[in-house]
Amino acid sequence: MPPQLIPPFLVAALGTVTGILWLVTRRDNPSLIFTTAGFYLIALGLAVHVLVIPYDENIAVVGSNVLYGIGAASLTYGLIKRSHQPGGVAMLAVMCIAIAFGTVWFAYISKSSAGQTYVINIGFSALLLFGAWRTRQLARGNTGDQLLFWWFLAVGIHYIPRAYLMATNVSEADTLPNGTFLSVIQLFPMAGLILLFGVITIIATGLDIINAIQDERDTDALTRVHNRRGLERLLRTTDWASKLPVSVLICDIDHFKQVNDRYGHAGGDQILEHFAGSLMANVRPNDIVARLGGEEFVVIMPATELSGGVAVAERIRSSNARMGDDSIAPGYIVQCSIGVAELQTDEDLWSAIRRADELLYQAKQQGRNRVVSSAGLSNLIKFPETALKKA
């Protein structure tokens, strides 16, 4: 293989690898299709540039720069999609048009090699820094997210001084022996940077797969909240002392055995799904909801005093009024009892969960369908005491 074809070949090979990864994980990583497209476009741009296709230097320069720009825009959009941020297409399109216009201007009108160098380098910098800005929350994400974000930021910044250094040394670059691997690397250092990005993308995707497997293992298959294993992992890996005050809610569906006896396990499953959905709808994104087993759930609320936990518990209790008419148990009134405790300084969180469970038992003893807290607060029943009664 001619040495000048090694960079485009390696970049295209990375595109093939990420394309395979997209086929395997496209449900969880739809952004990889844009990354794959970006690799192929940049590989094609490298090939056009080093082979001077179609044997006209100006056309080759314009074509390769346009391919570089669209390829970098595709990589950037892939990162934006990964971060679940909306939009970005219009700005990326404007930048690509600017790169194309600038390249044509300096190739055919002002005929400046330095101008062409400025256009592609500043264009690359703008595209990558725009992606880093739009996805800056990834800097606080998992390891894969952080690697991708910092690549975009560092490489985007590096293209600014590189534009000046290359533009002021065009004549020296033009004297490099053509066809040598050294000349290709010096003329197209983007190939090495893109290869690094490809390796980071593969690492990030691998970490995504591992996290997805772990999440599936730690998620309750029916209700899609954390299961007990997932809860134990979160409790083990979180510094709860830094999140005080912490409120703990133990929630239990009243008369659930009678539900299974009357509507069967399918009806019971629907009620569990309904109840878990109500829990998720009434807590914050950073709160933890887990199914301890059967019809018992726990909610852990960082930075929440006992009074706040009681307020949320009451909101949960009063929001589970009835099942829909299209369910197996149409019109069934869902009632629950809740115990609320606040984590004490130097207390183990499992100890707070046990105290909340004892308060839940008191709520059951006092007639069910109520909230009992460690402060002795309780709420009166607002629904009929018989859980099987239709509204």
- Select which of 57, 172, 216, 295 is catalytic: 295
Domain final residue pick, 217, 240, 274: 217
pLDDT of residue 342: 95
Q: Identify whether 43 is part of a domain.
A: yes
Contact (Cβ atoms closer than 8 angstroms) between residue 300 and residue 248: yes
Residue 53 belongs to domain spanning: 3-217
Q: Are residues 185 and 42 in the same domain?
A: yes
Residue 378, pLDDT score: 43
What CATH number did the domain enclosing 346 receive? 3.30.70.270
Q: Tell whether 70 is covered by a domain.
A: yes
- Residue ending a domain, among 217, 247, 265, is 217
Distance CA 247, CA 380 (A): 21
Quote the pLDDT of residue 211.
Answer: 86
Could you say which of 181, 198, 217 is where a domain stops?
Answer: 217
pLDDT in tens, 220-244: 999 999 999 999 998 888 888 888 9
Mean pLDDT of 29-37: 92
The SS3 assignment for 290 reads strand
pLDDT category of residue 361 using cuts at 50, 70 and 90 = very high
pLDDT of residue 250: 96
At 322 the pLDDT is: 64
Do residues 74 and 163 both lie within one domain? Answer: yes
Q: Is 374 helix (H, G, I), strand (E, B) or coil?
A: coil
Q: Please, which pLDDT band fits residue 174 given cuts at 50, 70 and 90?
A: very low
138 and 190 inside one domain: yes
- 384 domain-assigned: no
Does 293 fall in a domain? yes
Q: Tell whether the model's pLDDT for residue 77 goes beyond 80.
A: yes
187 and 274 both lie in a single domain: no
* 388 domain-assigned: no
Whether the Cβ atoms of residue 271 and residue 334 lie closer than 8 Å to each other: yes
Over residues 343-358, the pLDDT tens digits come to 998 888 999 999 999 9
How many CB atoms lie under 10 A from the CB of residue 241?
A: 11
Q: What is the mean pLDDT of the chain?
A: 85
Same domain (yes/no): 252, 201? no
Per-residue pLDDT at 321? 60
Residues of the chain above pLDDT 90, percent: 57
From residue 34, how far is each of 108, 310, 379 by CA, in Å? 32, 47, 54
Residues 70 and 119 in one domain: yes
Alpha-carbon distance of 210 to 35, in angstroms, equals 20
Question: Distance between CA 76 and CA 121 in Å, rounded?
Answer: 15
Nearest-angstrom CA–CA distance, 116 and 125: 14
Residues 6+ apart with CB under 8 A from 91: 130
Residue 302 and residue 329 in one domain: yes
Helix (H) or strand (E) holding 149: helix 143-167
Whether residues 202 and 96 share a domain: the answer is yes
Kindly give, in sequence order, each residue whose CB lies less than 8 Å from that of residue 41, ignoring residues fewer than 6 positions away: 67, 68, 70, 71, 74
Q: Does any domain span residue 381?
A: no
Based on the fold, state whether residues 129 and 204 are members of the same structural domain. Answer: yes
Q: Are residues 17 and 135 in the same domain?
A: yes
pLDDT value at residue 1: 66
**Residue 387: pLDDT band by 50, 70, 90 thresholds?**
very low
DSSP 171-237: HHHHTSPTT-HHHHHHH-THHHHHHHHHHHHHHHHHHHHHHHHHHHHTB-TTT-SB-HHHHHHHHHH
- Whether 243 contacts 357, CB under 8 Å: no
Residue 222 lies in a domain: no
State whether 288 and 195 are in the same domain: no
pLDDT digits (tens, 9 = 90+) for 44-63: 998 888 887 766 778 888 99
pLDDT digits (tens, 9 = 90+) for 267-323: 889 889 989 999 999 999 999 999 999 999 999 999 999 999 999 999 999 886 666
Domain count, the chain: 2
Q: Token match 């004892």: residue?
A: 358
Q: What is the DSSP string of 48-112?
A: HHHHTTTS-HHHHHHHHHHHHHHHHHHHHHHHHHHTT----HHHHHHHHHHHHHHHHIIIIIS--
- My answer on whether 283 and 213 are in the same domain is no
Task: Indicate if 295 belongs to the active site.
Answer: yes
- Residue 382 forms part of a structural domain: no
